[in-house]
Chain A
Amino acid sequence: MAQLNASAGQGAGALPPLLAVRGITKRFGAFTANDHIDLDLLAGEVHALLGENGAGKSTLVKMLYGILAPSEGEILWQGAPIQLPNPNAARALGVGMVFQHFSLFENLTVAENIALVMPPADRLDEVPAKIAEISRAYGMGLEPSRPVWTLSAGERQRIEIARCLLQDPKVLILDEPTSVLTPQEAEKLFETLERLKGEGRALLYISHHLEEVRRLCDRATILRLGKRVGACNPRAETPRSLAALMVGSEIKEVRPAGAHELGEERLIVANLSLASPELHGVALKNVSAAVKGGEIFGVAGVAGNGQSELFAALSGETLADDPQAILIDGQPVGSRGIGERRTLDAGFVPEERNGHAAAPDFTLSDNIVLSGHASGGLTRGGFINAAAAKEMAQKVITAFDVRKAGPDPLARTLSGGNLQKFVVGREIVRQPSVLVINQPTWGVDVAAAATIRQALLDLCAKGAAVLIISQDLDELFEICDRIAVIHTGELSPALPARNTTREEIGLLMAGMGAESTHAH
Chain B
Amino acid sequence: MSFDPQQIQDVLVIVVTAATPLLIAAVGELVSERAGVLNLGVEGMMIVGAATGFAAAYLTDSTMLGVIAGILAGAVLASIFAFLTLGLAANQVASGLALTILGRGVANLIGSSFVGLKRTPAPHLYIPGLSDLPMVGKLIFGQDFFVYFALLLTGAVAYWLMRTRSGLTLRAVGDNHSSGHSLGVPVRRIRLLAVLFGGGCAGLAGSYLSLAYTPFWSPDMTAGRGWIALALVVFASWKPWRALAGALLFGGVSVLQLVFQTWGVPIAPQFLAALPYLTTIAVLVVLSIRDIRGAAAPASLGIPFIPDR
Partners in one complex: yes
Query: Are B183 and A115 within 8 A (Cβ)?
Result: no
Residues 286-309 of B, flagged 1 when their CB comes within 8 A of A and 0 if not, give: 000000011100010000000011
Chain B residues whose C-beta falls within 8 Å of the C-beta of A279 in the assembled complex: 293-295
A67 at interface by CB-CB < 8 Å: yes
CA distance A69 to B165 in the complex (A): 27
- Chain B proximity of A511: nearest CB distance (Å): 26
Given A115-B165, A124-B164, A124-B168, A105:B176 Cβ within 8 A: yes
Interface string of B146-190 (1 = CB under 8 A from A): 000000000000000001110011011001101111111100000
Complex interface bits, A49-88 against B, C-beta within 8 A gives 1, otherwise 0: 0000000000000000011110000000000000000111
- Within residues 471 to 516 of chain A, which ones have a CB less than 8 A from any CB in chain B? none
A104 vs B169: C-alpha distance in the bound complex, in angstroms? 12
Kindly list chain A residues whose C-beta atoms are within 8 Å of the C-beta of B176: 103-106
Check A117 against B295 for contact (C-beta < 8 Å).
no
- Chain A window 17-51, contacts with chain B (Cβ cutoff 8 Å), 1 for yes, 0 for no: 00000000000000000000000000000000000
Task: Report chain A residues within 8 Å CB of B309.
Answer: 68-69
Instruction: Output the least CB separation between B232 and chain A (Å).
Output: 21
Which residue from B175, B178, B181, B183 sits with its C-beta under 8 Å from A107? Answer: B175
Known pairs A106-B299, A279-B293; A67 contacts B172 (CB<8 A): no
Tell me the complex Cα distance, A112–B173, Å: 12
Cα of A68 to Cα of B184 in the assembled complex, Å? 11
Question: In whole angstroms, how far apart are the Cα atoms of A402 and B127 in the complex?
Answer: 81
Q: Given A115-B168, A124-B163: A67 and B175 within 8 A (CB)?
A: no
List B contacts of A90 (CB < 8 A).
Answer: 184
> In the docked arrangement, what's the CA distance between A66 and B309, Å?
10
A116, B182: Cβ atoms under 8 Å? Answer: no
Contacting pair A117 B183 (CB below 8 A):
yes
CA distance A86 to B187 in the complex (A): 12
Interface size on A, residues (CB 8 A): 24
Q: Answer whether residue A108 sits at the interface, using C-beta atoms and an 8 A cutoff.
A: yes
B-facing residues in A172-221 (Cβ within 8 Å): none
Known A-B contacts A87-B184, A112-B172, A116-B183; A124 and B295 likewise in contact (beta carbons under 8 Å): no
> How many Å from the CB of B60 to the closest CB on chain A?
41
Residues in A with CB closer than 8 Å to B308 are 67-68
Min CB gap B53→A, angstroms: 36
Contact A104:B165 (CB < 8 A) given known A67-B308, A279-B294: no
Partner of A108, one of B163, B164, B171: B171
- Chain B neighbourhood of A91, CB < 8 A: 184
B168–A103 CB distance below 8 A: no
A379 to chain B, nearest CB (A): 31
Is there an interface contact between A116 and B164, defined as CB atoms closer than 8 Å?
Answer: no
> Once bound together, how far apart are the Cα atoms of A102 and B175, in whole Å?
14
Q: Which of B163, B172, B293, B294 has the most CB of A within 10 A?
A: B172
A258 at the interface (CB under 8 A from B): no
Contacts of A107 in B (CB 8 A): 175, 299
Cross-chain contact B168 with A116 (CB below 8 angstroms): yes
Q: Which of A396-455 contact B (CB under 8 A)?
A: none
Contacts of B295 in A (CB 8 A): 279
Contacts of B181 in A (CB 8 A): 67
Instruction: Report the separation of the CA atoms of residues A492 and B36 in the bound assembly, to the nearest whole angstrom.
Output: 41
| Shortest Cβ distance from residue B169 to the other chain A in the assembled complex, whole angstroms | 6
| Nearest-Cβ distance from residue A175 to partner chain B, whole angstroms | 11
Residues of chain B contacted by A69 (CB below 8 angstroms): 309
With a cutoff of 8 Å between Cβ atoms, the chain A residues found around residue B171 in the complex are 105, 108, 112
Given contacts A68-B308, A68-B309, A279-B294, contact A99 B182 (CB under 8 A): yes
Residues in B with CB closer than 8 Å to A88 are: 184
With an 8 A cutoff between CB atoms, is A376 at the interface? no
Report whether B299 and A116 are in contact in the complex, using a CB–CB cutoff of 8 Å. no
Residues of B within 8 A of A99 (CB): 182
**B residues within 8 A CB of A381?**
none
The contact of A66 among B165, B179, B184, by CB within 8 Å, is B184
Given contacts A69-B309, A99-B182, contact A105 B165 (CB under 8 A): no
Given contacts A106-B175, A106-B176, contact A86 B168 (CB under 8 A): no
Please measure, in the bound complex, the distance between the C-alpha atom of A120 and the C-alpha atom of B172, giving whole angstroms.
Answer: 15
Residues of B within 8 A of A120 (CB): 165
B25–chain A nearest beta-carbon distance, Å: 25
Query: In the complex, which residue of chain B has the Cβ closest to the Cβ of A104?
Result: B179
Q: Is the CB of A108 within 8 A of B178?
A: no
Those of B16-33 within 8 Å (CB) of chain A: none
Q: How far is the CB of A391 from chain B (nearest CB, A)?
A: 36
Smallest CB gap from A86: residue in B: B184
Roughly how many angstroms separate A106 CA and B184 CA in the complex, as a whole number? 18
Give A279 to B295 CA distance when docked, in angstroms: 7
Residues of B within 8 A of A87 (CB): 182-184
Residues in B whose Cβ lies below 8 Å from that of A108:
168, 171-172, 175
Residues of B within 8 A of A68 (CB): 308-309
Which residues of chain A are within 8 angstroms of B164 by Cβ–Cβ distance? Answer: 124
CB-CB nearest in chain A for B172: A105
Knowing A67-B308, A124-B163, A279-B295 touch, does A105 contact B179 (C-beta < 8 A)?
A: yes
> Using an 8 Å CB-CB cutoff, how does the interface string of B188-220 with A read, 1 for contact, 0 for none?
000000000000000000000000000000000
Roughly how many angstroms separate A279 CA and B292 CA in the complex, as a whole number? 10
> Which of chain B's residues has its CB closest to A279's CB?
B293
CB A213 to nearest CB in B, in angstroms, measures 25
Q: Which residues of B contact A105 (CB under 8 A)?
A: 171-172, 175-176, 179-180
Q: Please state if A103 and B165 are interface contacts (CB–CB under 8 Å).
A: no
Q: Name B171's closest neighbour in chain A (CB-CB).
A: A108
CB distance from A68 to the nearest CB of B (A): 6
A38–B179 Cα distance when bound, in Å, is 28
Give the Cβ gap from B309 to chain A, nearest Cβ, in Å.
6
Given contacts A67-B181, A116-B172, A279-B295, 11 further A-B contacts (CB under 8 A): A67-B182, A67-B308, A68-B309, A99-B182, A103-B183, A106-B175, A107-B175, A107-B299, A117-B183, A124-B165, A279-B293
30 contacts between A and B (CB under 8 A): A67-B184, A67-B308, A68-B308, A68-B309, A86-B184, A87-B183, A87-B184, A88-B184, A90-B184, A91-B184, A99-B182, A103-B179, A104-B179, A105-B171, A105-B175, A105-B176, A105-B179, A106-B175, A107-B175, A107-B299, A108-B172, A108-B175, A112-B168, A112-B172, A115-B168, A116-B168, A116-B185, A117-B183, A120-B165, A124-B164
What residues of chain B have their CB less than 8 Å away from a CB belonging to chain A? 163-165, 168-169, 171-172, 175-176, 178-185, 293-295, 299, 308-309
The 6 residue pairs across chains A and B that have the minimum distance between CB atoms: A87-B184, A103-B179, A103-B182, A105-B175, A86-B184, A88-B184
